[in-house]
Structure formats: structure tokens, C-alpha cells
Amino acid sequence: MIGCLMMAAVITPALVLVRQQLEMGREIARYQAMETFAASYLEQALAQRAADFHAFTMAGAVAGTAFSDLRYSVVGSTAPGDGGVSEKLLAVTSTVWRDEDSDTVLDNDEERITLASKLARMTQYEELAE
């Protein structure tokens, strides 16, 4: 009987620790996925807009991942308030977030990864696309 109690006293905390480590591993994997998708969407937008230089917005659910609650938004703007310069510089921002309440809207309390870059308008890009 004492052996069973001692075993339970040792195993129960060990199982709690294992469960916590598994949860932490899943959260780390989620952040890595969010960062990877944010970078991928940013690079895709920069490549598409190099030749076709104009403001845009893309948004949707992140597909093909174990994390079904991830959504993304990519915005490109030439407005000076967004960091762009009309007809010269496109500011591109990519955000991936965990849509915890499934409302497809990025709320202030939802986890997110945001990456940003800028794209200069160059005639070389436009000529290559023709």
C-alpha cells in the first residue's frame, strides 16, 4: 500500500510535467508556423507586385496546416501614412494570427506575427514581366 502511494506521489507530478511540455511544444510549433506563413505570404506578395505595382489586400484562412485557427492578411499600400510613396514605394505588411474567436477579424488580444517590407517601383521589373 505504501509503495502504491509513493508511486502515485512520483508519477502524478511527472505526468503533469510531461503534459505541460507537450502543450509548450505545440505552442512553439504554432509560433513557428505563424512566422513561416507570414514570411511566405510577404515574399509571395513582393514577387507578384514587383511587375504589377499597385495597392492590394489579400486575406483568408491559412490552408494546409494542423492549426486550423490561423488566418492571414497581406496589405500593400503606397500611401505615405502606411510607409509608402505614391507611384514609387509600396509598403507591404503580412500578418498571420490565431483567430481564437473564429470571427475572421484580428482582435487586439489575439496572438499574431507581423512582418513588413518595402518594394521600390523599378522599370526593370516591369520590363521583365512583359
Interval 93-107: pLDDT, tens = 999 999 989 899 999
H or E element in which residue 54 lies: none
Q: Which of 127, 126, 72, 129 is nearest to 98 (CA)?
A: 72
> For the sheet containing 89-98, what is the strand order?
56-61, 70-77, 89-98, 112-120
Residue pair 93/114 in contact by the 8 Å Cβ criterion: yes
Domain borders along the chain are 2-129
Q: What is the pLDDT of residue 1?
A: 64
Mean of the per-residue pLDDT values of the chain? 88
pLDDT in tens, 37-56: 999 999 999 988 887 888 99
